[in-house]
Amino acid sequence: MHMTSKHYNLINTNQLMKFYKCKEWLALRQEALKRDNYECQRCKKKGKQRQADCVHHIKYVKEFPAFALTLSNLECLCNQCHNEEHERLPNQQEKKIINQERW
């Protein structure tokens, strides 16, 4: 897939949710899942079989936006492996701060 100025703008202005909802990303994500047979690639390397829930950018989007729509930069992972990659605890969610401007 080809990165456009629209894609770069979404990434560079920290509008990642919009990027992850764009048709180009959704199509590439589906292509990666099909390529990897919907299996977590890290679990597979360990001899385990687990369904992939996430498509992970090997080179992080914010650091390497040019690779955001590159199939070879994608790795299908289960939630557990994806959380380990990003050092998140299970069921950990960012707590949103609600102030007068955000109600």
Neighbours of 4 (CB within 10 A): 12
Per-residue burial over 35-55, b = 16 or more CB atoms within 10 Å of its CB, e = otherwise: ebeebbbbbeeeeeebebebb
What does the domain layout of the chain look like in residue ranges?
5-88
> What's the chain's average pLDDT?
88
Under DSSP, the state recorded for 30 is H
CA 40 – CA 81 distance, rounded (Å): 8
> Structure pTM?
0.80
- Average confidence (pLDDT) over 29-58: 97
Interacting residues of 36 by C-beta distance below 8 A, sequence separation 6+: 52, 75, 76
What per-residue confidence (pLDDT) applies to 22?
96
* pLDDT over 60 at 101, yes or no: no
Give the whole-number percent of the chain exceeding pLDDT 90: 80
